[in-house]
């Protein structure tokens, strides 16, 4: 073969190869698992609007597309293997008529499409953008919904043109899971709360949580009459009839040494003197929760060592409920919980507490029996369960007293009460629980209206300040970084609750998967919850914890800040240039401080997405700007290291969406 023909053949092969490389396929966005790409809070649905109804914009129906609710963030990794995105965008005809929506297409930080403000009734606008070479794609609908519902918008006929049948992937979350906190020493350390409240005459269960080498023995001096301590387990039980504040000294001893801690027992009208910390099953197992999983979770809390750091509650969420019956005609467990009382007793035997879920509605959100009925005896029919959405309202007949008495008889310690919160229902259950003869922590959910915050603080032990949390920075930001206005109302006995924790493996609307929060965001998550004096309820299967997540949840200095007996929430004292400073006063006169690099989140369309090229920022913490004057000794809480004495400022570097958490001691 001559050189001429060799060159001709080589050129022909290149043409064939190039032609093959450009093979494209059209992919409807509703053909992928679109929920897994959503970093907003409400659900997104394919082929319908976000309510599950037909997709309709300005009278025009669409068979394909993605329906979204409120501010919506869809983040897709394309890896340069897409050529085009097209859609028709607009507000759904069943959406909110008052709120303007803006649609953005953002590719590798560049805005490729901006719809401008659109309202219900506007003609849908076409989108057609070139995606050649694009690595990451963001589809954003921005709307100032302020907690309003039915804020529906649509990416109608949304379609990607892909190369070689490539399908979009989730944005990778492969950042190093760096561990900051050293392991606790083998000498004893007592980690349980230093203050505990109980009602006169009601049962007490308090565990002396302690780390250190086992075996370990426990003792106590100054316990009031009626309480006794098991020296082998550290479990304090009994009841105290006389009101008052009692100061006890707790001791934990092993072969390497001894630790002591002062405990103030307040017998009076207020329980939950520190925020509850433990585990909730919903983001682990959702409707698949059963008795075996609950017991396994309690065992894992012990085996993984979390109990020794003060984690206490094992809470069963929705899907445990069966029918009404028993001595009190209260809600009974369903077939997934065949020996409910034995399960409760077993968990109590570990020194842990048990929580359950209910609602004042006829049906729960998962479709199980609730606390009211349109039937006098409170029974539920198959027709009601089949049409559960139609019965999410408070019925004519209400059973708060029945259910509270049944919970008390079982020995339940915590009630999550879930519905679109209003004062009358909250108050009825509050009264019933207080009259039940047992201290049951009362937590209401979800999205408590801020206008009634004084009622929630008066009636409940914790109240959900926002919607259900999701494992995304957007959801964490909305749930926690916006709570400054709530701060004055939270405190001992009544805590602001930003919802469960989203670390580990979670199932928040999709199948069980590793949290989409980066390691930096997870440090920020746990830090801010601690600073806010928030309830901390682990939302992942405990037995699946990896070394990073376990380390994240077992820093005793972080937990101590959350459990500080003063019970003050941190306040946002500085918010500028993408940096936030939260300052929390503590009972010993020191302060806890969180320095957060929030990266101007929400201020630009690109800021809603993670692009993979984010860099740390240098920050100078100016003491005087936040009202601190004089000399201070600083301690890095996550690393548990003293940093030295500083007079006016402290300079540090903070990773993107990360935190530096400090304990600040006056050296005057």
Residues marked active site are found at: 418, 468
Cα atoms found within 13 Å of the Cα of residue 582, Cβ hemisphere only:
28
Q: Tell me how far apart the alpha carbons of residues 349 and 36 are, in angstroms, rounded to a whole number.
A: 39
What are the angstrom distances between the C-alpha of 117 and each of 60, 101, 228? 19, 5, 66
DSSP 288: G
Q: Tell me how far apart the alpha carbons of residues 638 and 552 are, in angstroms, rounded to a whole number.
A: 9
Q: Identify the bridge partners of residue 130 per DSSP, sorted by sequence position.
A: 84
H helices present in 532-579, as ranges: 547-553, 556-562
What are the angstrom distances between the C-alpha of 454 and each of 33, 432, 465, 490? 42, 20, 13, 10
Token pair of 201 as six digits = 């005459």
Q: Are 667 and 630 in contact (CB under 8 A)?
A: yes
Query: Of how many residues is the chain composed?
Result: 668
Token pair of 506 as six digits = 């979670």
C-alpha radius of gyration, the chain, whole number: 27
Token pair of 396 as six digits = 């004519």
Q: Tell me how far apart the alpha carbons of residues 668 and 41 are, in angstroms, rounded to a whole number.
A: 46
What are the angstrom distances between the C-alpha of 182 and each of 190, 551, 562, 594? 17, 8, 19, 20
Q: Tell me how far apart the alpha carbons of residues 540 and 285 are, in angstroms, rounded to a whole number.
A: 8
Report how many helices (DSSP H) and strands (DSSP E) the chain contains, helices first. 12, 43
Q: Are 94 and 66 in contact (CB under 8 A)?
A: no
* Closest alpha carbon to 478 in 45, 34, 147, 100: 147
H helices present in 442-516, as ranges: 453-459, 473-480
Q: Which helix (H) or strand (E) holds 4?
A: helix 3-21
Q: Are 158 and 141 in contact (CB under 8 A)?
A: no
H helices present in 375-493, as ranges: 382-386, 400-410, 423-434, 453-459, 473-480
Backbone angles phi, psi at 522, to 5 degrees: -70, -40
Instruction: Count CB-CB contacts under 10 A for residue 167.
Output: 14
The dihedral sign for the CA sequence 189, 193, 195, 197: negative
Instruction: Count CB-CB contacts under 10 A for residue 225.
Output: 10
Token pair of 662 as six digits = 């400090």
Please classify residue 178 by burial: count the beta carbons closer than 10 Å to its beta carbon, then call 0-12 exposed, 13-18 middle and 19+ buried: exposed
Cα atoms found within 13 Å of the Cα of residue 615, Cβ hemisphere only:
3
């Amino acid at each position: 073969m001559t050189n001429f023909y060799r060159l001709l053949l080589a050129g022909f092969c290149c043409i064939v190869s190039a032609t093959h490389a450009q093979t494209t396929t059209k992919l409807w966005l509703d053909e992928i698992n679109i929920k897994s790409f959503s970093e907003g809070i409400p659900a997104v649905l394919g082929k319908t609007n976000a309510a599950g109804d037909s997709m309709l914009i300005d009278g025009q129906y669409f068979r394909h597309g993605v329906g979204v609710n409120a501010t919506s963030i869809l983040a897709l990794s394309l890896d340069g293997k897409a050529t085009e995105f097209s859609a028709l965008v607009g507000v759904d005809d069943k959406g909110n008529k008052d709120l303007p929506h803006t649609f953005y297409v953002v590719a590798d930080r560049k805005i490729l499409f901006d719809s401008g403000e659109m309202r219900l009734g506007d003609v849908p606008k076409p989108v057609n953008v070139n995606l050649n070479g694009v690595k990451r794609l963001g589809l954003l609908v921005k709307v100032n919904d302020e907690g309003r519902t039915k804020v529906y918008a649509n990416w109608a006929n949304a379609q990607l043109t892909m190369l070689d049948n490539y399908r979009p992937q989730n944005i990778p979350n492969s950042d190093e899971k760096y561990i900051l906190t050293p392991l606790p020493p083998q000498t004893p350390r007592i980690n349980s709360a230093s203050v505990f409240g109980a009602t006169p005459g009601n049962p007490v269960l308090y565990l002396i949580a302690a780390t250190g080498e086992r075996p370990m023995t426990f003792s106590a001096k100054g316990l009031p009459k009626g309480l006794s301590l098991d020296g082998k387990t550290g479990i304090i039980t009994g009841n105290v009839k006389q009101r008052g504040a009692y100061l006890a000294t707790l001791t934990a001893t092993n072969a390497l040494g001894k630790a002591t801690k002062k405990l103030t027992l307040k017998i009076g009208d207020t329980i939950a003197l520190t925020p509850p910390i433990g585990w909730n099953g919903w983001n682990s197992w959702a409707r698949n929760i059963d008795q075996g999983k609950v017991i396994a979770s309690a065992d894992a809390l012990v085996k993984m060592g979390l109990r020794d750091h003060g984690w206490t509650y094992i809470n069963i969420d929705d899907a445990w409920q069966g029918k009404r019956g028993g001595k009190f005609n209260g809600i009974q467990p369903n077939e997934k919980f065949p020996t409910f009382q034995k399960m409760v007793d077993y968990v109590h035997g570990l020194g842990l507490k048990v929580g359950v879920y209910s609602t004042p509605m006829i049906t729960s959100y998962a479709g199980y029996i609730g606390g009211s009925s349109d039937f006098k005896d409170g029974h539920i029919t198959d027709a009601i369960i089949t049409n559960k959405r139609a019965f999410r309202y408070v019925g004519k007949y209400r059973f708060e007293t029945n259910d509270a008495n049944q919970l008390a008889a079982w020995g339940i310690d915590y009630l999550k009460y879930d519905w679109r919160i209003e004062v009358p229902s909250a108050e009825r259950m509050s009264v019933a629980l207080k009259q039940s003869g047992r201290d049951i922590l009362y937590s209401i959910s979800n999205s408590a209206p801020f206008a009634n915050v004084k009622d929630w603080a008066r009636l409940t032990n914790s109240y959900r300040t926002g919607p259900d949390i999701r494992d995304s920075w957007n959801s964490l930001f909305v749930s926690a970084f916006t709570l400054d206005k709530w701060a004055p109302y939270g405190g001992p006995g009544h805590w602001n609750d930003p919802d469960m924790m989203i670390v580990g493996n979670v199932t928040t609307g999709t199948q069980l998967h590793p949290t989409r929060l980066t390691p930096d965001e997870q440090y920020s998550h746990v830090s801010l919850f601690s600073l806010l004096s928030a309830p901390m309820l682990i939302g992942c299967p405990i037995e699946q914890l990896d070394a990073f997540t376990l380390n994240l949840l077992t820093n005793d200095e972080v937990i101590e800040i959350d459990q500080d007996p003063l019970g003050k929430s941190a306040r946002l004292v500085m918010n500028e240039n993408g940096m936030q400073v939260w300052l929390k006063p503590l009972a010993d006169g020191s302060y806890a401080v969180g320095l957060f690099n929030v990266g101007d989140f929400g201020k630009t369309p690109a800021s809603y997405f993670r692009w993979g090229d984010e860099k740390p920022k240098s920050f100078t913490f100016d003491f005087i700007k936040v009202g601190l004057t004089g000399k201070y000794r600083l301690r890095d809480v996550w690393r548990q290291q003293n940093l030295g004495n500083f007079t006016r400022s402290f300079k540090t570097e903070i990773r993107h969406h990360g935190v530096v958490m400090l304990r600040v001691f006056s050296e005057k």
